[in-house]
Amino acid sequence: MGTPSPRGSWSRSGTPSQGRAAARSPSRRCRDTGGARMKVRPILTGFVLTLAAAGGCKTAPTPPPPSEPVVSPAGIKVKDQTLSSFTAVVMVDVENPGRTPLEVESAHYEFSSGDLVLREGDAEIGVSVPPGESTTVAVPVAVEWEPTEEEFGAFLDKASLPLLFEGTLKTSAGELPVSVAGSLRTPRLPRVALGTPDAARQRVDAIAATFRVEIYNDNPFPVRVRRLSYAIEVEGNEVASGELANKVTVPPSAQLVFEVPADLTEETVPGLAQKMKEENRLSYVLRGVLFVGDLEIDVEEPSEIVFTAER
């Protein structure tokens, strides 16, 4: 049976104390016994499967929020222009990158030409921009203005006048700044000119003359003329006067011609017979006032009459 150890434990090929020490050493059992290694492998395999399962259930990353709406200028169209008014249709492209419709409710703006503020205020819009799309928004601005004759004179060297629309669009995503530039064809005052008159000599001291008064409109829109008050002087003597063009409209880029007859005699033009003997022409001038809207435009046009009858 063996001999007792000094502590009273028994052993066959070794001492009982050695067996208890081996039992307290798991690492030794793993090395010495194949069964211990088999117990570890299922634990590791389950851990790997757990990780794999966790990796397979991982969700996709959250996409970044959509960017802000984009506002781009699309120009200014001018319509219904007159000498004292016009309507500017301000065009704005609004892009909606969001996932829900973008409501464009209204605009707050200042509309100007150079240093002159033509209009400021608010305009209702009421346009819905679908998600991921772009829509052109139109903001009509009606302008009433009364340029003075001096201001019209300052326009003469300009083909167009600058226009600027600045403000904000009120939308469901907040207020968006907007700035749109354009131009307005410079309005021109109607002008008065003298056409070539007819002058027929009836006798030595008498001429039958027909004066032609022309009113020009150089604008691409019609111009309403209230009237033209006039007087015609030949060699410093008034030979005809009155009013023309009462409440007439001159078409765009056109002219109206009015004929004014006058008999030139020694009574109306003293020294006429002597003048006719010395020359074949007489000087004359048209003076008057052209009434257009609230404007009164002074007119003074000199010219000459050339005799057509033989002496």
Domain annotation covers residue 231:
yes
Domain annotation covers residue 64:
no
| Confidence (pTM) | 0.68
Query: How far from the centroid of its chain's Cα atoms is residue 126's Cα?
Result: 19
Q: What domain range is 241 assigned to?
A: 191-306
CATH code at 254? 2.60.40.1820
Q: In sequence order, what are the residues at sequence separation of 6 or more whose Cβ sits closer than 8 angstroms to the Cβ of residue 4?
A: 10
Same domain, 200 and 301: yes
Q: Are 256 and 214 in contact (CB under 8 A)?
A: yes
Q: Report the distance separating Cα 157 and Cα 141, nearest Å.
A: 26
Domain annotation covers residue 2:
no
Q: How many CA atoms does the CB half-sphere of 176 hold within 13 Å?
A: 22
Same domain, 219 and 249: yes
Domain annotation covers residue 26:
yes
Q: Are 249 and 225 in contact (CB under 8 A)?
A: yes
Token pair of 182 as six digits: 């354009």
Please give the pLDDT value at position 165.
Answer: 98
Please give the pLDDT value at position 63.
Answer: 59
Please give the pLDDT value at position 9.
Answer: 40
Q: Report the distance separating Cα 178 and Cα 107, nearest Å.
A: 9
Please give the pLDDT value at position 180.
Answer: 98
Token pair of 295 as six digits: 């404007």
Same domain, 25 and 86: no
SS3 label, residue 110 = strand
Domain annotation covers residue 8:
no
Q: How many CB atoms within 10 Å of residue 12?
A: 9
Domain annotation covers residue 265:
yes
CATH code at 91? 2.60.40.10
Q: Report the distance separating Cα 42 and Cα 61, nearest Å.
A: 33
Given the DSSP bridges, would you call strands 206-217 and 237-244 parallel, antiparallel or unpaired?
unpaired
Same domain, 292 and 204: yes
Q: Are 257 and 195 in contact (CB under 8 A)?
A: yes
Nearest-CA neighbor of 94 among 41, 138, 62?
A: 138
Please give the pLDDT value at position 49.
Answer: 41
Residue with tokens 């006429």: 272
Q: Are 120 and 109 in contact (CB under 8 A)?
A: yes
Please give the pLDDT value at position 275.
Answer: 85
Q: Per-residue confidence of the chain (311 residues) as pLDDT tens digits?
A: 444 444 444 344 444 444 444 444 444 444 444 444 444 455 444 444 444 444 555 566 665 556 789 999 999 999 999 988 999 999 999 999 999 999 999 999 999 999 889 999 999 999 999 999 999 999 999 999 878 878 787 777 788 999 999 999 999 999 999 999 999 999 999 999 999 998 888 777 889 999 999 999 999 999 999 999 999 999 999 999 999 888 999 999 999 999 999 999 999 999 988 888 888 789 999 999 999 988 899 999 999 987 754 54
Q: Are 181 and 164 in contact (CB under 8 A)?
A: yes
Domain annotation covers residue 139:
yes
Same domain, 195 and 179: no
Same domain, 119 and 206: no
Same domain, 151 and 252: no
Q: Which helix (H) or strand (E) holds 23?
A: helix 16-23
Same domain, 107 and 161: yes
Total domains in the chain come to 3
Please give the pLDDT value at position 153.
Answer: 77
Q: Which of 134, 160, 185 is the last residue of a domain?
A: 185
Please give the pLDDT value at position 35.
Answer: 46
Same domain, 107 and 198: no
Q: Which of 158, 185, 212 is the last residue of a domain?
A: 185
Token pair of 149 as six digits: 């004759």
Same domain, 25 and 100: no
Q: Which of 185, 208, 223 is the last residue of a domain?
A: 185
Same domain, 213 and 274: yes
Q: How many CA atoms does the CB half-sphere of 61 hold within 13 Å?
A: 3
Domain annotation covers residue 211:
yes
Token pair of 2 as six digits: 């063996």
Same domain, 134 and 154: yes
